[in-house]
Amino acid sequence: MTALRPVRGTKDFLSDDSRKRRFVEDCAHDVAVRAGFAEIATPIFEFTHVFARTLGDTSDIVTKEMYTFQDRSGESLTLRPENTAGIVRAFLSNNLTQQLPLKVFYRGPMFRYERPQKGRLRQFHQIGVECLGAGTPIADVEVIALAADVLARLGLKHTVTLEINTLGDTESRSAYRTVLVDYLSARAESLSEDSRVRLQQNPLRILDSKDAGDRAVVAEAPSLEDHLSAPAQAFFAEALAGLDALGIGYRVNRQLVRGLDYYCHTAFEFVSDALGAQGTVLAGGRYDELVRQMGGPPTPGIGWAAGVERLMMLAEGCPPPPRPIAVLPLGAAEACTALALARELRQEGLIAEFNAAGGLGKRMKWANRINARAAVILGSDELARQVATVRDMDSGTQEDVALAEIAGRLSQSS
């Protein structure tokens, strides 16, 4: 019989991994909430058109990576490969257009069928923020600063570098598109098959290509920087000035692009060389056309997302789990009293683990294995005297303590 195993690209989060994942997510949540970003949770699957419509029919995500299936009613559904589209769908479905600016934080699993790599799984987890309704450069600065604060909270302030670029406004991108198509058309035979299709449908997507041949062609392509309108240049300059004012360091990377048409102005990534080829830790950008593309009113937006698994690999300062108290009745007659005592300890905010199985020696070994700081032992003699033996698991010293006083005593020593 073949041993049961997880599906390729998925993993079980056992105790230590779950604790570190929660640490990463909770740090981000705390920083976001302090900045006025309320938590939102959307379904892990949506109608397929929510993603196909926003990510583009020629994107790798839509054509190769989405987990799409038909439900019993014949509807095409897709496990979310990212969450921005779902947030915008929720914004429109719940008629939140009168609550702008809308600032939200999210966390949860995403799904992409791609080759598993270090820090990249087929079911992976993300944290992210979206800010809808704020179209000024200072909104970009706030969102980037929030990302920097999250990474600093995780101990990564000196581990990551902020790279930033401008994608320009509609006027800039339209002018650039014409020049780019002329350049790429003359070199179409050197492009990958996917990029030759994109050349006809969405040439800016070629700038995102990971194909080595495409990247060689793109490396010599005309620069978007040379086609920026005056307002686009001013927008970017103001965003950079805001980062300077906050003391947030950055590196302008003119190769940093987003191929989808709804992206504009600021694009940014926090990168690290500690992850090998997969160096992006957190990525974001402005998407002023997305809400309108999804059928809503013109609404500016900016956000970012970060892979939790990657952050777990880099994060520092995750505290060790708190040490529990082991509550050990010696017989069936003492079990209920011991369990009531364990519940009292828990109500006092302590971690109390209860074990009524096996002999005392076996249970003391168990108490050591769970790294208990104290063991509360209750036998028939102790029960008759309404006391329990409290043993310090580090020093080995022990004393009898009245049952009514144990919770207070252990709370003081925690």
Report whether 84 belongs to an annotated binding site.
yes
Report whether 82 belongs to an annotated binding site.
yes
Report whether 263 belongs to an annotated binding site.
yes
HEC string for the chain:
CCCCCCCCCCCCCCHHHHHHHHHHHHHHHHHHHHCCCEECCCCCEEEHHHHHHHHCCCCHHHHHHCCEEECCCCCEEEECCCCHHHHHHHHHHCCCCCCCCEEEEEEEEEECCCCCECCECCEEEEEEEEEECCCCHHHHHHHHHHHHHHHHHCCCCCCCEEEEEECCCHHHHHHHHHHHHHHHHCCHHHCCHHHHHHHHHCHHHHHHCCCHHHHHHHHCCCCHHHHCCHHHHHHHHHHHHHHHHHCCCCEECCCCCCCCCCCEEEEEEEECHHHCCCCEEEEEEECCCHHHHCCCCCCCEEEEEEEHHHHHHHCCCCCCCCCCEEEEECCHHHHHHHHHHHHHHHHCCCCEEECCCCCHHHHHHHHHHCCCCEEEEECHHHHHCCEEEEEECCCCCEEEEEHHHHHHHHHHCC
Report whether 34 belongs to an annotated binding site.
no
Report whether 183 belongs to an annotated binding site.
no
Report whether 171 belongs to an annotated binding site.
no
Report whether 250 belongs to an annotated binding site.
no
Report whether 97 belongs to an annotated binding site.
no
Sequence ranges of the binding site: 82-84, 112, 126, 130, 258, 262-263
Sequence ranges of the binding site for L-histidine: 82-84, 112, 126, 130, 258, 262-263
